[in-house]
Amino acid sequence: MLKKHLIPLTVILGLLVMANVFAYKLPTKVENLKKDNYTNITKETEEPVFSIAQLEFAEETLPVGDTRITQKMKRTLASFSYGNLQTNRLHLKAAEWFPIVEPILAAYGIPNDFKYLPLVESGLRGGVSPKGAAGYWQFMPSTARMYGLKVNKRVDERYNLRKSTIAAAKYIKELYGVFDSWTLVAAAYNVGDGHMRKQINRQGQDNYFKMKLNRETGAYVYKLISMKEILENPSRNGYKNQKALIAYKQVEDVSATTVE
């Protein structure tokens, strides 16, 4: 009689054990499935690995394999990060200035990357330099007059964005005729064409990145590249202000204006 009751009881216990085993394993399979899906999504949506070799100015790239240049570029780029600059202000200035600057540069055959020059020249510091350079493109009074700007006690056209950009485009185009390199042009804009020619002749070197220049000029193109990078790729540089970013992105939709 006892054996008769033990057989069904054994079967029932066996079924309970099997149920517990399957109940335990099922969530594990589901969790693994979720984990696999998450991994795939992450791999598909994450940005490509960023390399310093991708950075360039006016299609002139940094020399590959030079540790000194790479480290200098990384340090400069880090100094232009979201936490170290008033990035919100720079995005808003870009949104305001670029629709005027871009078509003028294009009309004179100047690479679009030179639009970042006034942001580095006057967007970061503003005001008048100790030597007297002023305005959007930080012209010295004598240079400004040479390229058609009025600078006197009543009028200072260095502060007229359209007129000063036309003057800058003329000057930059002239510099390119001398140096035949846009990075050297940018450096010469900073330090002066006479000094730049002297350094090229003295060093027997015409690659900006490999030249030994004063601290400001030696960092100038690196700053331009960093400004370009943080404005063109804000998300990978820690930029978070969506309002200013939207304003900057709208620059792309502005119709080209007629150059006067």
Q: Look at the alpha carbons of 90, 96, 102, 107 in this order and tell me if their dihedral is positive or negative.
A: negative
Distance CA 27, CA 158 (A): 70
Token pair of 155 as six digits: 């009028």
Distance CA 166, CA 149 (A): 9
Q: Average pLDDT in the 127-150 region?
A: 92
Amino acid at 50: F
pLDDT band at 32 (very low <50, low <70, confident <90, very high): very low
What's the predicted TM-score (pTM) here?
A: 0.74
Sequence-distant (6+) residues with CB within 8 A of 242 are none
Given a cut of 80, is residue 31 above it in pLDDT?
no
Distance CA 185, CA 176 (A): 6
Token pair of 199 as six digits: 């350094």
Q: What are phi and psi of 60, to 5 degrees?
A: -105, 115
123 CA to centre of own chain: 14
Predicted confidence (pLDDT) per residue in 205-252, tens digit: 999 999 999 999 999 999 999 999 988 887 676 655 555 555 555 655
Closest of 260, 227, 231 to residue 245, by C-alpha:
231
Token pair of 172 as six digits: 């930059």
Sequence-distant (6+) residues with CB within 8 A of 178 are 188, 193, 197
Token pair of 46 as six digits: 């994450």
Distance CA 149, CA 3 (A): 113
